[in-house]
């Protein structure tokens, strides 16, 4: 998700902000579960998969906003 951003900035925010760190890990977890579900490895109903995708998108949006807010302060 942050491939285009300097790794050091992402790591610094992970260390400094517990909410960012928690959301980052939750996004990674959801990303893996959604991929597994789409590959058929993790059996999920369509409603659950849609909810997970929505939560993953919310986490991504929040993470990007947090990252950009931090960058604008420096």
Domain regions of the chain by residue span: 7-73
* Res. 74 pLDDT band, cuts 50 70 90: low
Q: Which residue has the higher pLDDT, 69 or 72?
A: 69
* pTM score above 0.95: no
The token pair at 72 is: 């604008």
Please, what's the b/e burial string for 25-43 (b: 16 or more CB within 10 A of its CB; e: otherwise)? eebeebbebbeebeeeeee
Q: Which residue has the higher pLDDT, 73 or 22?
A: 22
Segment 5-14, tens digit of pLDDT? 888 999 999 9
Segment 15-51, tens digit of pLDDT? 999 999 999 999 999 999 999 999 999 999 999 999 9
């Amino acid at each position: 998700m942050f491939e285009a951003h300097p790794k050091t900035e992402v790591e610094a925010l992970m260390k400094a902000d517990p909410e960012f760190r928690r959301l980052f890990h939750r996004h990674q977890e959801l990303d893996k579960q959604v991929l597994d579900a789409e590959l058929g490895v993790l059996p999920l109903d369509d409603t659950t998969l849609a909810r997970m995708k929505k939560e993953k998108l919310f986490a991504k949006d929040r993470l990007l906003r947090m990252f950009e807010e931090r960058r604008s302060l420096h």
